[in-house]
Amino acid sequence: MRYLILSDMHSNWEAFQAVLRRARRKTFGAYLVLGDLVGYGGAPNQVVDAVLDLPRRVYAVRGNHDKVVAEIDSGESFNEAALEAARWTGDQLTERNFRYVRELPEGPRPVADGVAICHGSPLDEDAYVFSDFDAYSIFSATSTRVTFFGHTHVPSMFKLQDGGIEVRLLRGRTGRIVLDPEARYLINPGSIGQPRDRDSRASYMTYDGDRGVVRWYRLRYPIRRAQKRIHQAGLPVVLAERLAIGI
């Protein structure tokens, strides 16, 4: 089966729309949504509506911003700009969309044999996975062969094989990973709505489960329109400025 992997849209409709338009060129059997549909950006209802309208089967988990927006978490760990955006978002969501965000399940969530998704870590949905030490802790405590995760907004791969861990940042407009059947993986598609690897292009992935091939993509989108939405919403200016430089 072919999967489209979407993560950290963060209410950025312009970026998400660009990805969905490009994805229509291919057929997918299911969609993997790794959390943080909302927060930061100025178009939360458009993003949630689009997730609800995805065809075929959707596997989704919640992110930390989804939890704060839905009042599951207080957001006390958030910086001032993030918390202001979360509170604004909660006020903007329609009743249907608020309920959907609130009912998103906690990860990890099994998708297929040997494949699961989560937002942060399979051990802690709010934890960041940046280093080989983080990955080793996960590999030591779990048995899933391939886990797709988000949260860091950095496209990356951690590969466990023969007791060693390979760490790879996924750069460039596109590329692919041919999965070794003898290895285990933690793979992050990066962020659609707020990349943080100094590349402003929206980031997403596809996974061909039959061939064992993961592909990553970077896609330009109308950043100024996304910034304009943030300004018009009266949200902190930094949330708009960072989109242009990918931080």
> For residue range 232-242, what is the model confidence (pLDDT) as tens digits?
999 999 999 99
Structure token pair of residue 95: 């009743």
**Band of pLDDT at residue 25, cut at 50, 70 and 90:** confident
Residue spans of the domains in the chain: they are 2-108+172-180+190-244
More confident residue, 3 or 56: 3
222 upstream amide cis, omega within 30 of 0 = no
**CA proximity to 64, closest of 152, 154, 171:** 152
**What integer best gives the mean pLDDT of the chain?**
97
Residue range 115-122: mean pLDDT, rounded: 98
Structure token pair of residue 196: 């943080």
CATH code of the region 2-108+172-180+190-244: 3.60.21.10
pLDDT exceeds 90 at position 144:
yes
SS3 112: strand
pLDDT exceeds 90 at position 163:
no
Residue range 36-62: mean pLDDT, rounded: 97
Contacts 24+ apart (CB under 8 A), 91-98: 92/44, 92/45, 93/38, 93/44, 93/45, 93/48, 93/69, 94/45, 96/52, 97/44, 97/45, 97/48, 97/49, 97/52, 98/69, 98/70
**Band of pLDDT at residue 42, cut at 50, 70 and 90:** very high
For 165-212, the pLDDT digits (tens) are 999 999 999 999 999 999 999 999 999 999 999 999 999 999 999 999
**Band of pLDDT at residue 109, cut at 50, 70 and 90:** very high
pLDDT exceeds 90 at position 118:
yes
SS3 8: coil
